[in-house]
């Protein structure tokens, strides 16, 4: 076998070629890591946003979009007294009527942005226990409460909207009363107002949905039975986790497009790397023939060439990993219903490492095989 140092020294025979190989492999690995981080981040936030203990009562035919749903205002009270198993604390049942309204917000300095506004009552905190006030108070009439990532959804600076700031929605002014956190969920990018205020702003009498929370996930079937019995209310009951699961399926074409785009760019970079290796190995056919003449077998030479290519690609993987930590880790990306955060998790890092190894193997084998193909006499006569 050829010593490993032989492959390592050959890397520096042409610094330009080495930089091209490192740069190409770094681009491919970074694209793959980006695709994995984006898809994982979107899947993670949609999975975390739905609870097995929550059931959403929607208007029939609106199972795929709570914003289009209309539920009679009386449904919350009827469900509270009719459905068994609903969580209850201090005599108050966990039933939250809500209005979900996508609207443009005027920020007071000429800027205008779109975000999801959720009209809620204090009972919303009972059905969404992951929501925690980090600053200020729950909104009263004429006030709104912002998720801690709402600034990213609005496309403004993090400190542009703080407690005490003002916004305008459909010509009506609101004061920011508080900031809340709901780690890992789409709610962190929302704006919450009182259900009475949003009813006026959205000009609607019905609510979008009624959210019920159960102590036992098995009791959620009671909500489905209630919806089927009360045909006059025209309701459909769906678990919150199932609702966000359907949203995940809805966004699957977007995730596929991320993979396709990354794959096309990566393929171009891969073919460029293969051409670089072809040029690099083609000029060494006589050297390879000499190695065979002094007793090294073709398998040993092939392994050395693969080692050389893999070392360069792993160097590119290291560069890509460092770039991913700077460009991808803890970055927030807005999409239609909220915000998700990308992470350079162990899974993303391992995917990048495996990509770098595969690049080293797949990129070097065709070029190495072409160099080893000539017979020994023909290889020794090549210039």
Residue 243 covered by a domain: no
Same-domain check for residues 276 and 176: no
Single out the residue in 215, 230, 260 at which a domain terminates. 215
Distances (CA, A) of 48 to 187, 191, 368: 10, 19, 48
Same-domain check for residues 185 and 81: yes
Residue 175 covered by a domain: yes
Same-domain check for residues 342 and 256: yes
Q: How much is the pLDDT for 279? A: 66
Same-domain check for residues 70 and 191: yes
Q: How confident is the model at residue 165 (pLDDT cuts 50, 70, 90)?
A: confident
Nearest to 284 by CA among 304, 314, 312, 310: 304
Same-domain check for residues 155 and 270: no
Single out the residue in 160, 192, 215 at which a domain terminates. 215
Q: How confident is the model at residue 135 (pLDDT cuts 50, 70, 90)?
A: very high
Q: How confident is the model at residue 374 (pLDDT cuts 50, 70, 90)?
A: low
Same-domain check for residues 71 and 110: yes
Residue 143 dihedral angles phi and psi, to the nearest 5°: -130, 160
Residue 246 covered by a domain: no
Q: Using the predicted structure, report yes or no on whether residue 59 has a pLDDT greater than 80.
A: yes
378 vs 337: which has the higher pLDDT:
337
Average pLDDT value for residue range 278-297: 72
Same-domain check for residues 330 and 351: yes
Average pLDDT value for residue range 202-207: 88
Q: Using the predicted structure, report yes or no on whether residue 380 has a pLDDT greater than 80.
A: no
Single out the residue in 192, 215, 238 at which a domain terminates. 215
Taking the CA atoms of 20, 380, 291 and 359 in sequence, report the sign of the dihedral they define: positive
pLDDT digits (tens, 9 = 90+) for 76-104: 999 988 888 898 888 888 999 999 998 88
For 145, the domain range is 54-215
Same-domain check for residues 200 and 289: no
H or E, element range at 97: strand 95-106
Range with lowest mean pLDDT among 45-49, 107-111, 361-365? 107-111
Q: How much is the pLDDT for 336? A: 67
Percent of the chain's residues with pLDDT above 90: 21
Same-domain check for residues 34 and 70: no
Q: How much is the pLDDT for 193? A: 93
Q: How confident is the model at residue 330 (pLDDT cuts 50, 70, 90)?
A: confident
Residue 226 covered by a domain: no
Residue 220 covered by a domain: no
Please name the residues in contact with 193: beta carbons below 8 A apart, sequence gap of 6 or more. Answer: 117, 118, 119, 120, 139, 143, 144, 145, 169, 174, 201
Same-domain check for residues 34 and 144: no
Average pLDDT value for residue range 214-238: 88
Q: How much is the pLDDT for 241? A: 86
Nearest to 274 by CA among 16, 8, 21, 19: 21
Same-domain check for residues 145 and 167: yes
Q: Which two tokens stand for residue 371?
A: 């160099």
Average pLDDT value for residue range 156-162: 81
Residue 229 covered by a domain: no
Q: Using the predicted structure, report yes or no on whether residue 376 has a pLDDT greater than 70.
A: no
Same-domain check for residues 81 and 194: yes
> With contact defined as beta carbons under 8 Å apart, do 188 and 176 qualify?
no
Residue 301 covered by a domain: yes
Total domains present in the chain: 2
Q: How much is the pLDDT for 280? A: 65
Residue 222 covered by a domain: no
Q: Which of 12-21, 116-125, 163-172, 293-302 reaches the highest mean pLDDT?
A: 116-125
pTM of the model: 0.75
């Amino acid at each position: 076998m050829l010593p490993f140092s032989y492959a390592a020294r050959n890397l520096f025979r042409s610094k330009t070629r080495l930089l091209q190989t490192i740069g190409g492999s770094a681009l491919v690995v970074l694209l793959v890591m980006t695709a994995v981080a984006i898809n994982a981040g979107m899947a993670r936030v949609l999975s975390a946003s739905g609870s097995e203990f929550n059931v959403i009562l929607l208007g029939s035919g609106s199972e795929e979009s709570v914003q289009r749903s209309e539920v009679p205002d009386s449904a919350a009270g009827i469900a509270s007294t009719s459905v068994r198993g609903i969580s209850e604390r201090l005599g108050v049942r966990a039933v939250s009527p809500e209005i979900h309204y996508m609207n443009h917000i005027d920020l007071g300095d000429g800027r205008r942005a779109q975000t999801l506004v959720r009209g809620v009552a204090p009972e919303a905190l009972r059905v969404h226990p992951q929501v925690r006030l980090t600053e200020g108070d729950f909104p009263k009439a004429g006030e709104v409460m912002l998720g801690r990532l709402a600034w990213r959804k609005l496309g403004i600076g993090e400190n542009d909207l703080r407690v005490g700031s003002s916004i305008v929605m459909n010509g009506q002014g609101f004061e920011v009363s508080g900031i809340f956190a709901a780690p890992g969920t789409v709610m962190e990018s929302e704006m919450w107002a009182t259900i009475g205020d949003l009813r006026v702003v959205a000009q609607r009498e019905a609510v979008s949905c009624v959210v019920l929370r159960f102590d036992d996930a098995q009791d959620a079937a009671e909500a489905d039975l209630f919806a089927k019995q009360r045909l006059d209310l025209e309701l459909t009951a769906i678990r919150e986790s199932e609702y966000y699961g359907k949203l995940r399926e809805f966004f699957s074409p977007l995730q596929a497009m991320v993979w396709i785009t990354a794959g096309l760019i990566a393929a171009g970079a891969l073919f460029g790397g293969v051409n670089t290796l072809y040029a690099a190995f083609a000029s060494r056919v006589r050297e390879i023939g000499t190695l065979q003449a002094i007793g090294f077998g073709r398998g040993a030479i092939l392994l050395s060439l693969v080692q050389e290519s893999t070392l360069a690609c792993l160097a590119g993987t290291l560069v890509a990993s460092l770039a991913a930590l700077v460009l991808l880790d803890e970055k927030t990306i807005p999409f239609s219903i909220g915000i998700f955060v990308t992470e350079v998790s162990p899974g993303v890092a391992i995917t990048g490492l495996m990509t770098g190894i595969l690049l080293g193997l797949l990129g070097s084998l065709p070029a190495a095989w072409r160099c080893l193909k000539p017979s020994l006499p023909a290889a020794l006569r090549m210039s």
